Chains A and B, each alone.
Chain A
Amino acid sequence: MSSSISKKTYKSILIYVVWIILSLITFFPIYWMFLISVRTRVELFDAPKLYQTTFYAMNYIRPLFIDIYGKYLYNSLIVATGNTVLVLICSVLATYALSRYRVKGDQNIFFWTITNRMAPPAAFMFPLFLLFSRVIVVGESRIFDTHIGLILVYCLFNLPFAIWLLKGIVDGIPTVIDDAARVDGASTLQIIWKLIVPLAAPGIAITALLSWIFAWNEYLFAATLTSVRARTITTGLTEFVTVVGTNWGEMAAIAIVCILPALIFLFLVQKYIVAGLTFGAVRE
């Protein structure tokens, strides 16, 4: 009896050891980046130390408040938030239609929207750049280097993702509820707004959070389709790497700012985020 208990104890200790080591491997690169972000230039050239007792805030203050990175941060906020709102409105309406109505070719529509998520951005960048900067020109105004341009382009991957996630949730809401409301004379939009949205609220919230993170994290389109006015924080990050040398401390500081929102979200609602991050790859 006692030997079986000790075997069990061994096993659970082993599990903890494995997961603590794995967590250290996962966390160390980010911890290291934080260390770099609070070090002065001089400190960086010492042998690498794994701890830090001083905090050099200029790495954060100079790029954000003196240089242009505050503006980039603002652009990222506008683009990510604008995209999330647009994606939510469109995806809730579309999901309701795909879930409740038999439309001719609805399977094809579903398949096509999902294929959009798979599209390599590097291949879409060519035509989008040409369209935004040279073809769709109204007078002097172009979509190139505008917030609205990025907001629309990010729908390419966020909209399919949102529909994919929400479909399962809306499918799970019994249609009896819609029918009852319809008998009472509610219009389709009223049903969606007053019944479906509240019932699917947790799922919608997670979809919103993840869409926001994906839009915030995006780099390739932002780098190609903006130049100055609508440049986002992720794009700004690469601007630290220059031929005349890189200010590693400031780059690390901006990278920390870049990953901070996602970190906060992850620890606030980790259970749901973790489930959503698998892109609903497993569904009943």
Chain B
Amino acid sequence: MNSSRTAWALLAPTLIILAFVGLLPFFYVLYVSFFDWNIFSKTGVMSWAGAENFRRLVFDADFLAALKRGIGFTCIAVSIEMVLGLTLAQLLMIRFKGRSIFRALHALPLTVAPIAVGATWRLMTIPGMGPVSYFLQQLGIDYNIGRSASQAFFTTVLMDIWHWTPFVTLTFLAGLSALPRAPFESAMVDGANRWQIFRHISLPMLRPVILTALFLRIMDALRIVDEVWMLTGGGPGTSTRYVGIHLWRIVFPKTDYGYGSAMSVLLLYFTIVLCWLLITAITQSRKGAGT
């Protein structure tokens, strides 16, 4: 009895802080989402709106387009990162002199502030001044992310790959290093080639790690704001206005609080569902792997 009281006392500071910055905002946003609250409206007071905000949301073409754009961005960027990360992790498993230096250099983008990542990529792609646009121009390719929607989109994808592939690589590297050696040795004795070993031993044993990395990347890519905002400002037009930017730059400044809250609730709902899927998939694959 006494010991559980000690445990709660030790947990108390954490729980109080997380309740204040996590639970309270969560319930508050849920509450506000059922009201019509626009500080520029005549009264500026909250009035009950029922599910009206959510009804509007489902028919909001801009929001749905931003959501779709964000999902498209996530699918392309994350799948390339996974393949690239898995390959690079395999390459880092080979022992060679200076491996740890290359590994540290590879981790570099992870420590850079996302907003500064956006700044570096912007400096590289300014028409006429950035090296990327300059050299592409010398080659006769007109590259201008301020004008071409598809170029802007693929530049944000490339930036995300530059920024986050190291995360996937390092996660897989940790996973690969933690695998038992015995199955690999017996496969080698049986004369399996590199690809067979990778396909039939590494890949199945890495399943939990792959799932973890995949879901963490999906969550992070879906909520991307800083880098893209600094690089393109969501433009040109709406071509890189992903859902986080839409909520932050378009809905938030309108001070239509009830509607913005409803959008937040929907995004949080997606997050919780994704989290739940993540945990279930990982625990199941852990059980399946028999560890």
Task: Scan A265-277; emit 1 where CB is below 8 A from any B CB, else 0.
Answer: 1110011011101
Q: Let me know if A101 is at the binding interface, CB within 8 A.
A: yes
Q: Let me know if A84 is at the binding interface, CB within 8 A.
A: no
Q: Let me know if A165 is at the binding interface, CB within 8 A.
A: no
Q: In the complex, which residues of chain B have a beta carbon less than 8 angstroms from the beta carbon of A252?
A: 119, 123
Summarize B's interface: helix, strand, loop or mixed.
helix
Q: Let me know if A98 is at the binding interface, CB within 8 A.
A: yes
Interface size on B, residues (CB 8 A): 92
- Asked if A123 contacts B209 (CB within 8 A), the reply is no
Q: In the complex, which residues of chain B have a beta carbon less than 8 angstroms from the beta carbon of A126?
A: 29, 32, 247, 252, 257, 260-261, 263-264
A237-B131 CB under 8 A given contacts A101-B3, A126-B252: no
Q: In the complex, which residues of chain B have a beta carbon less than 8 angstroms from the beta carbon of A36?
A: 123
- Asked if A273 contacts B111 (CB within 8 A), the reply is yes
| Least distance between A73 CB and chain B CB atoms (Å) | 13
Q: Let me know if A89 is at the binding interface, CB within 8 A.
A: yes
Q: Let me know if B77 is at the binding interface, CB within 8 A.
A: no
Q: In the complex, which residues of chain B have a beta carbon less than 8 angstroms from the beta carbon of A262?
A: 111-113
Summarize A's interface: helix, strand, loop or mixed.
helix
- Asked if A33 contacts B119 (CB within 8 A), the reply is yes
Of the candidates B3, B10, B121, B275, the one whose C-beta lies within 8 Å of that of A96 is: B10
Give the CA-CA distance A263 to B113 in the complex, in Å: 11
| Least distance between B193 CB and chain A CB atoms (Å) | 15
- Asked if B4 contacts A101 (CB within 8 A), the reply is yes
Q: A: which residues have CB within 8 A of B? A: 12, 15-16, 18-19, 22-23, 25-27, 29-30, 32-33, 36, 44-45, 47-48, 50, 86, 89-91, 93-94, 96-98, 100-104, 109, 111-116, 118-131, 135, 152-153, 155-156, 159-160, 163, 188, 213, 216-217, 219-220, 224, 234, 237-238, 241, 248, 251-252, 255, 258-259, 262-263, 265-267, 270-271, 273-275, 277-279, 281-282, 284
Q: Show 30 A/B contacts (Cβ-Cβ < 8 Å), sorted by A.
A: A26-B166, A27-B108, A30-B112, A45-B128, A93-B14, A94-B15, A97-B6, A103-B4, A103-B11, A119-B22, A121-B223, A122-B248, A122-B267, A123-B263, A125-B248, A126-B29, A127-B24, A127-B264, A155-B21, A163-B14, A188-B6, A217-B113, A220-B226, A224-B248, A255-B119, A262-B112, A270-B103, A275-B174, A277-B110, A282-B171
Q: B: which residues have CB within 8 A of A? A: 3-4, 6-8, 10-11, 13-15, 17-18, 20-22, 24-26, 28-29, 32, 88, 91, 94, 96, 100, 102-117, 119-121, 123-124, 126, 128-131, 134, 162, 166-167, 170-171, 174-175, 178, 209, 212-213, 216, 219, 222-223, 225-226, 229-230, 233, 243-245, 247-248, 252, 257, 260-261, 263-265, 267-268, 271-272, 274-275, 279
